Structure 1
Amino acid sequence: MKSTENEIQSDEGRGQWTSKREYLLVVAGNVIGIGNVWRFPYLCYKNGGGAFLVPYGVLVIFTGLPLFLLEISVGQYTQEGFITCWNKLCPLAKGIGFGQLVISLTTITYVIVEAWTIFYLVFSFRSQLPWVTCNNTWNTATCLTKFNSSNATANQTKGTSAAVEFWERRMLGMSGGIEELGGVRWELALCLLACWVFCYFSIWKGVKSSGKVAYFTATFPYVMLLILLIKGLTLPGASEGIYYYLYPDINRLADLQVWTEAGSQILFSYALTAGVLNVLGSYNKYNNNCYKDCLWICLLNTGTSLVAGFAVFSVLGFMAREQGVTVDTVTDSGPGLAFIAYPQAAALMPLPQFWTVCFFLMLVLLAVDSHFVGVESIFTTMKDLFPKSFRARVRHEIFVLVGCILFFIVQLTLVTEGGIYVFSLIDFYGSTRACMNFMAICECLALGWIFGADRISDIIEDMTGHRPSVFFKVCWKFIIPLLSLSSFILYLVNYKHFKINDYIYPDWAYGLGWTMTLSSVLIVPLWAAGQMCLTPGTFRQRLSVLCRPAEDPDWRRNKTEEEGAMNELMMPAVTT
């Protein structure tokens, strides 16, 4: 069961982490990203503040931590990407890897958030912040410079804030809908190009280059977050925002939607079920203590989300006091929480340019880690599928270059006038919610039941010297599948057509959305059915072969001995 270290290191074309420090920084940089500072606060805001923290904390323990350990340890054990690793585990479940590939391809569309952030960062250096005034060419006659306590409610019905108009009219140039893509917003396209150029030079040498980049991109955001946290806590009204953030509304805890949103956030921010953790773990040495790493990284991830919540909600409390409204009505949840509410709040502070630069620089650095690690996991998996074609250094660099160029060209649709509608459709259908819950179910069934939770525990003990507690086995076999299945069913039962504000997508767009969802979901049973049809033997024999590791010499030797003994029993007696 254990691969020798010499066998692992002999694969020079694949590479390994040059140090434990680089591995931890890259993994931390991947799981700690915009999901912590952008998505976590707006989900808290949307789901009642403190009411969201209760299910979030519970599901971190019963879902996030066990699934994180499972994926990291599988990658470290197999030393393969998230498709080929299943040959050493359960070939019947190899469709999970292809489903994760589809999820990974849709997840990298979040690079557009990085491009938006760069756009805002550039404009933050202006002497007059453009989202503060209404005397710009893109502003309308109903533009409002800011809200105040005397006319906040009236202004919200009569006009649009300057921050909203900068977001919708200056940067996005929003069209009437997805059927009106319009032209490319070339300034935004240049920001997208910068994202892909940085991504290429972060991964063109494989883990050797990505590990070096992480020294800066994974650590500096914490400096920015600390500065913003201190400033936020000193603002007038900050205590009101923090109270809303921490105090749970007991009635909201009975809302199953809050629990499903919490589960979705954990899968998203921990980078679970997308195959990325398998790849990052596969570059480790066999005897790395992944058990200890998992505990610390998960603690760091959750801690960062909670600290980011304090930073954001203190600013929301400040805005609520300035506008004379309650915290839960100060702004809309969603992307606008980062790109409308915070810039608008920073404009009311002394030295507004400094605070907006700190905020958007932090978001950029958080986004780049998740971006280049996600892309690297895709390229690594493809190299493992076709090792002779892509393992050579020159071929690897060309392969990565061509891939980044193709991704950039395809994603130009996201920077058109209708790009926000495309991105929102992919975000809702392609990479979150139902897809991730379904993959979590499949992973736990394949590894916890078919491959065996006891065998996984044996592997982790063999690699690390520490045997996981029975708690992890219970989570892998029972708790995670049941929670994920419940979330998956609730999603289907409570499904409503996605819309942006009052805009309803055309029917063909909803069909495209469901195609994205089903492309990752259906590939798992379809692959299993296809392999059952192609494998020779009776149904029981085919199932036995496909449910056992394809590269298990002990099993093959035992199987040969059993077949030989069976043949001897079946031979007719020879009379003399």
Structure 2
Amino acid sequence: MKTIERQIEERGYWGSKAEFILAVAGNVVGLGNVWRFPYLCYKYGGGMRCVPYLMFVATCGVPLFLLETAMGQYTQEGGITCWRRLCPLAEGHSGVLLHVLHHHSGLGTLLPHLLFQFPTSMGQCSLLRRVLALSGGIEEVGKINWEILLCVVAMWIICYFCIWKGVKSTGKVVYFTATFPYVMLLVLLFRGLTLPGALQEVVFYLYPEPSLLADSQVWMEAGAQIVFSYSLSVGTLTVLSSYNKYNNNCYRDCFWLCLLNSGTSLVTGFAVFSVLGFMAHEQGVPIEEVAESGPGLAFIAYPQAVAMMPFPQLWAVCFFIMIILLGLDTHFVAVEAVVTSMMDLFPAVLRRAGRREIFLLFFCLACFMGQLFMVTEGGMYVFQLFDNYACSGACLLLLSVFESLAMGWIFGAERMFDAIEDITNSRPNYIFMLCWKYLTPLVSMVSFVCSVVEYEPLTFNRWYVYPDWAYALGWLLALSSILLVPGWAMGRLLAGKGSLKQRWLHLCNPDTNLPLSNKQRAGMKETVSTTEIKDLVRLNVEEREN
């Protein structure tokens, strides 16, 4: 037994605080900051959209960000075993990791499409017909695009070597992958603001439309943006923070990283819309004709704009390197989250010399094979189906409800406060307890219900309507992530031993081997002291009687 224990390797820690900060920054600051936030600000009233955005930041974003980073650091465990130790009843929440990985794997097939746009005029026709070679619909799979396939192979190879040694390699890679996009963003921001027509469109981007606050869609989009851009309820924050030393100040890190994320979204809006303003100025058309959502904004409108700049090839390369790194960071962190969670689940098997590299190799190969459909002529239709259903904003909002209820009520917000105080030597503001128990689940549930009520069938590029079976598949994908938590809880309750009450209490109690907080240690000392006093009194009484 001792020989086996010696063979199991340690989990390890981040080499420095900077590695953790950069890894989390690379994960939370992604493609959504580049294309989604600026577009939504333009669509829903610019400055007025900051009202629902800031409300969700205060009630959901920051509280859940702190909760998830504290959970990982407190338990020193990955996504699955962390929930098992804190709240076994909600262990099904960890299953969403696989859905997030499928989403980012699909995103990985989208990134190589950019590489073929540099030397061209980069118009929409070029993207849809030559680069993506789109078929007539999802029912027409078509042939594999071999150029895209080779790029996807290259992407998975890069991903493998970024994380093959765990935090030892990831911590070094993020010094480049997380910082280069910020350098390019500042360069593009400066270049964009100096273009003709840029300032007028920046003002248009921020111009408030108070009447739009009455639109429920504004609030739903703000909630979805927060859970996506903050990487909430998907387990990656828990995994990344589990490699911190126990006494790292996660409370302070939470505020700085949330500020960095939201600040990046705002600055990116200036960069993107200054260039879109230049494009509208040059073409003499309103900005409504050049601003589109999602890939349309980043992969169609922006290439058209940089093609009209001096040295267009240089600007195109710079922008798309930034886009690729933003996507790559988020992608390999999602893979690392799954691999770490599996290694923590089976440490005796996987945490041995050379086992991680082999497991990661087979895992990457399996993911690559699973996404071959997305490199076909109908692949973009499949990607958008996954993007809108498998791990949509509505699904993550409901998972946020489960998460906050499980930790706020079953594990206990007070107990979590004691853990954070033990970690950081400072007690969090009481507003976080209020959010975990009441505000976060309430706001998230209302947003989820509104999302379901306001549901509109998915279309591609405003002209292609998916067949009914595709919508049914999409809803199955959505339900598979939503029902994981209650389904797992029900299964454990039915499969457990003892009475229903005993099974419930067993699943609601955390692991007894969790680190003791200062309050728990003080309580144990008082108990021991009281017991010792009682023993002394009893001995004195016995001596007198004798």
Return closer, same or farther for 1:17/1:437 CA change in 2, 3 Å cut-off: same
Cα deviation for residue 52 of structure 1 reads: 2.6
Cα deviation for residue 426 of structure 1 reads: 0.4
Cα deviation for residue 11 of structure 1 reads: 7.4
1:384 matched residue in structure 2: 344
Deviations 1:224-283 (A, max 9, x none): 111100011011111121112111111111111111111111111111111000100111
Q: Higher helix proportion, which one?
A: 2
3-state SS of 2:371 partner: helix
Tell me the distance in 2 between the aligned counterparts of 1:397 and 1:546.
Answer: 34
Paired residue for 1:294, among 254, 264, 270?
Answer: 254
Amino acid at match of 1:314: S
Return closer, same or farther for 1:353/1:103 CA change in 2, 3 Å cut-off: closer
Q: Does 1:511 align with 2:472?
A: yes
Tell me the distance in 1 between the aligned counterparts of 2:433 and 2:101.
Answer: 27
2:65 matched residue in structure 1: 68
Tell me the distance in 2 between the aligned counterparts of 1:64 and 1:215.
Answer: 25
2:225 matched residue in structure 1: 265
Return closer, same or farther for 1:183/1:164 CA change in 2, 3 Å cut-off: same
1:282 matched residue in structure 2: 242
Q: Tell me how large the CA RMSD over aligned residues is.
A: 1.9
1:544 matched residue in structure 2: 505
Return closer, same or farther for 1:50/1:326 CA change in 2, 3 Å cut-off: farther
Cα deviation for residue 552 of structure 1 reads: 4.4
3-state SS of 2:79 partner: coil
3-state SS of 1:348 partner: coil
Q: Does 1:254 align with 2:251?
A: no
Of 324-333 and 191-200, deviating more is: 324-333
1:315 matched residue in structure 2: 275
Amino acid at match of 2:258: C
Q: Does 1:90 align with 2:87?
A: yes
Tell me the distance in 2 between the aligned counterparts of 1:263 and 1:547.
Answer: 29
Q: Does 1:469 align with 2:466?
A: no
Of 401-410 and 286-295, deviating more is: 401-410
Paired residue for 2:491, among 519, 522, 530?
Answer: 530
2:25 matched residue in structure 1: 28
Cα deviation for residue 537 of structure 1 reads: 2.3
1:49 matched residue in structure 2: 46
Tell me the distance in 1 between the aligned counterparts of 2:75 and 2:145.
Answer: 44
| 1:211-226 equivalent positions in 2, closer than 5 A | 211-226=171-186
Amino acid at match of 1:497: P
1:147 matched residue in structure 2: none
1:196 matched residue in structure 2: 156
Deviations 1:388-432 (A, max 9, x none): 221113111011111111111221211111011000100110112
Q: Does 1:521 align with 2:482?
A: yes
Deviations 1:79-106 (A, max 9, x none): 1111111222111111111234333433
Name stretches of at least 5 consecutive residues in structure 2 with no aligned partner: 1-5, 528-546
Paired residue for 1:458, among 418, 422, 433?
Answer: 418
2:36 matched residue in structure 1: 39
The answer to whether the 8 A contact 1:235-1:318 is kept is yes
3-state SS of 1:393 partner: coil
Tell me the distance in 2 between the aligned counterparts of 1:22 and 1:82.
Answer: 20
Tell me the distance in 2 between the aligned counterparts of 1:309 and 1:407.
Answer: 33
Tell me the distance in 2 between the aligned counterparts of 1:256 and 1:432.
Answer: 17
Deviations 1:547-566 (A, max 9, x none): 001334899xx9xx9xxxxx
Amino acid at match of 1:534: A
Tell me the distance in 2 between the aligned counterparts of 1:216 and 1:390.
Answer: 29
Paired residue for 2:75, among 75, 78, 81?
Answer: 78
Amino acid at match of 2:491: G
Deviations 1:166-203 (A, max 9, x none): 11001111111000010111111111111111100001
Return closer, same or farther for 1:360/1:490 CA change in 2, 3 Å cut-off: same
Q: Does 1:449 align with 2:409?
A: yes
The answer to whether the 8 A contact 2:100-2:334 is kept is no
3-state SS of 2:388 partner: helix
The answer to whether the 8 A contact 1:119-1:188 is kept is no
Tell me the distance in 2 between the aligned counterparts of 1:186 and 1:53.
Answer: 43
TM-score (norm. length: structure 2): 0.90
The answer to whether the 8 A contact 1:104-1:275 is kept is no
How many matched pairs? Answer: 512
2:14 matched residue in structure 1: 17
Deviations 1:335-383 (A, max 9, x none): 1111111111111111111211111111112111111111000111111
Cα deviation for residue 316 of structure 1 reads: 1.6
Cα deviation for residue 10 of structure 1 reads: 12
